[in-house]
């Protein structure tokens, strides 16, 4: 389900500019003025396009309006729904006759876009731009740290993958968008792996359960501490985890199922890997992708 791969988790603290947003195939109305041979060209909109790769534009992203006659554009109005209440106006950042670049304003809603040239008139797109608010559909930063401790050193040994069982027992795909991949502590601290809701989640290695709780952004989540001190956090479980704090779990033992609780859109596992001594116990979050791939490859 490639379209869901663009959603997933996003750290609230991070100001993430998505690398892409949907190319809306907007072959706009082309009002050909019958007559008026000397009239200047009115703007014409052929296509609304964000960077390729995602299904929607988000607030703050740059929208490209492709067409013609746009060299004199004074403003772009994001019309949203019917009526003027939700209209949002933005000045183009760059424009030539055939391409105009404009930032999608905060508060803009899905709807047609109007290009305004005070000299020659305005034209609106025949199709609606899909706009999604930043943060909606994006998912969660981790729960607030219980007691932040001094970070431990991140050494090569600390990040080297160790053998174990892949946490998702079923078909899955890795999130590849900017908000699905690891980009550091306080930002997106893990990786999102998409799988059907209800797919079993298991412990990768023998471990002790250090947290099993619910949090508004993480949803139902569980944190394990391996015997080497590393921490594994699983977020957005469909229901409360199957294990309780202090419990020992074996490699491959079920701990819950994939879900979309908390601030998540689409069923997925947000997985974090922390160096020893673990999750908010003095360890540091590291990119879990190499470890996940190693477990995944081991079958």
Query: What are the residues binding Zn ion (CB under 5 A)?
Result: 9, 192, 270
User: 281 is written with which tokens?
Assistant: 């116990």
Chain center to CA of 282 = 27
69/143 with CB nearer Zn ion: 143
44/270 with CB nearer Zn ion: 270
Alpha carbons 141 and 138: distance in angstroms, whole number? 10
Alpha carbons 58 and 55: distance in angstroms, whole number? 10
Residue at shortest CB range from Zn ion = 9
Output the smallest distance, CB 143 to Zn ion, in A.
13
9/222 with CB nearer Zn ion: 9
63/195 with CB nearer Zn ion: 195
Alpha carbons 234 and 202: distance in angstroms, whole number? 10
Output the smallest distance, CB 42 to Zn ion, in A.
46
292 SS3 class: helix
Output the smallest distance, CB 291 to Zn ion, in A.
15
Q: H-helix or E-strand containing 62?
A: strand 62-68
User: 19 is written with which tokens?
Assistant: 């690398």
| Closest to 131 (Cα-Cα) out of 158, 112, 157 | 112
| Closest to 293 (Cα-Cα) out of 157, 164, 155, 156 | 164
Output the smallest distance, CB 53 to Zn ion, in A.
18
Output the smallest distance, CB 80 to Zn ion, in A.
29
142/204 with CB nearer Zn ion: 142
């Amino acid at each position: 389900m490639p379209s869901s791969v663009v959603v997933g988790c996003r750290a609230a603290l991070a100001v993430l500019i998505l690398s892409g947003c949907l190319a809306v195939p907007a072959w706009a109305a082309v009002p050909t003025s019958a007559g008026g041979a000397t009239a200047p060209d009115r703007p014409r909109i052929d296509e609304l396009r964000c960077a390729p790769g995602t299904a929607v534009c988000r607030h703050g992203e740059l929208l490209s309006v492709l067409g013609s006659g746009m060299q004199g554009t004074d403003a772009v109005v994001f019309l949203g729904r019917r009526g003027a209440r939700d209209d949002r106006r933005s000045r183009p950042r760059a424009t030539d006759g055939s391409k105009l670049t404009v930032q999608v304003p905060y508060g803009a809603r899905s709807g047609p876009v109007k290009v305004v040239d005070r000299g020659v008139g305005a034209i609106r797109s025949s199709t609606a731009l899909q706009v999604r608010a930043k943060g909606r559909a994006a998912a969660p930063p981790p729960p607030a740290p219980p007691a932040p401790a001094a970070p431990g050193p991140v050494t090569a040994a600390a990040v080297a993958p160790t053998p174990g069982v892949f946490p998702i027992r079923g078909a899955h795909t890795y999130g590849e968008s900017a908000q699905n991949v690891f980009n550091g502590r306080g930002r997106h601290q893990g990786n999102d792996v998409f799988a059907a809701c209800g797919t079993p989640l298991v412990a990768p290695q023998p471990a002790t359960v250090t947290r099993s709780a619910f949090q508004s952004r993480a949803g139902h989540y569980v944190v394990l501490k391996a015997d080497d001190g590393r921490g594994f956090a699983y977020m957005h479980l469909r229901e409360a985890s199957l294990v309780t704090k202090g419990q020992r779990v074996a490699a491959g033992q079920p701990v819950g199922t994939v879900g979309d609780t908390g601030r998540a859109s689409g069923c997925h596992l947000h997985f974090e890997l922390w160096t020893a001594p673990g999750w908010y116990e003095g360890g540091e979050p590291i990119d879990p992708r190499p470890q996940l791939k190693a477990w995944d490859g081991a079958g």
